[in-house]
Amino acid sequence: MGSICCCCSKGESTGHAVQPQASITAPLSGPSQPNRKALLISIEYKDCGADGGPSELPFARRDAEYWKEVITRRCGYQGANVVLMSDSAANPLHRPTYENIQREMRTLVHGLQAGDRRFFFFAGHAMQFPTRDNGASQGTASGSLPRRRNTEFDGMDESIITISKNAAGEYRTIKDNHIKEWMVDPLVPGSILTAVVDTCHSGTILDLPYRARLKRRKVVFEDARPDVDDLPQCRGTVICVSACEDGQKATEWKRGSEQTGPLTLAMSDLFDPEGFQWAPQGTSGSAQPAGPIRVKALLKHLKKHDKPNQQTPWVTCGSRDPNIEFAP
């Protein structure tokens, strides 16, 4: 098939473009947008494995609910401004289909103003495809579109897997090119996008130009894509924390008898001194505001969870700012 997939045997490129539609919880028109808004996508892939699709991830929704607790209790987000997508969502517009995810990604950054903050979280499956001409959205993984050069060091585009299928029964995916187009490119000066992507093949899932890493105790920035010099400067501030490198798989971890995404567990003690709380108790300690985390402190923390050559968390950014912060 010409693709590399985590626990999945079928996949498709992004398919035809879908026009954005208004979201029930996050309208595209009306009053000015709230200062803080979040999109949390959890895909459990229930019953997908029976037809050769992605394997089930029973912890995905719980991890998304944990991040909702973090940002509403610790980071100043209002519950009404947080969209949580899941397979079992009562609102059909919040189920993680290709069309719904595209609409909500666009809605997340629509109408941004300086000072606005946006938070994005994804828990699900991802895979890789050979790069295609101009980020084309037509065809499937086995198609014969011409290759695009100099956008990926490894010649592969990263894609998240939705629960939608095409006419051939293949699960539709959303490539990193389109995630960047829908959520990063619309940023305005002074706006901030913070992303946590807890999935396989996620190192450059937002297609950001730079990777931040520690070298001799200093923060250094490396090009995350070979065409950095040809890219327009990112207009807002964006930082993405990913579970692993593009070519790696993110294996779920266990805490006691429970499973969780590796990145969610690794980052949990940055917000909860006692570690990951499956059911936050609302104690005064857990409700204290969470201050911004400087990128150096973030990298030092993630280094403790690095599994060289197996699973190395990545931090990518829209600029080479050594003072950039993880601040949902």
Q: Write out the catalytic residue numbers.
A: 125, 200
Residues paired with 165 in a beta bridge: 171
Coil/strand/helix, residue 23: coil
∠ CA 302-305-310, rounded to 5°: 115
| Distance separating alpha carbons of residues 253 and 176, to the nearest angstrom | 25
The amino acid occupying position 103 is: R
Residue whose pair of structure tokens reads 């593009």 in the numeric block: 246
Residues paired with 37 in a beta bridge: 118
| Distance separating alpha carbons of residues 89 and 92, to the nearest angstrom | 7
Q: H helices then E strands: how many in the chain? A: 5, 16
Q: Which residues contact 174 (CB under 8 A, 6 or more apart)?
A: 14, 98, 101, 102, 159, 160, 162
Proportion of the chain in helix, strand, coil states, percent, rounded to 5: 20, 25, 55
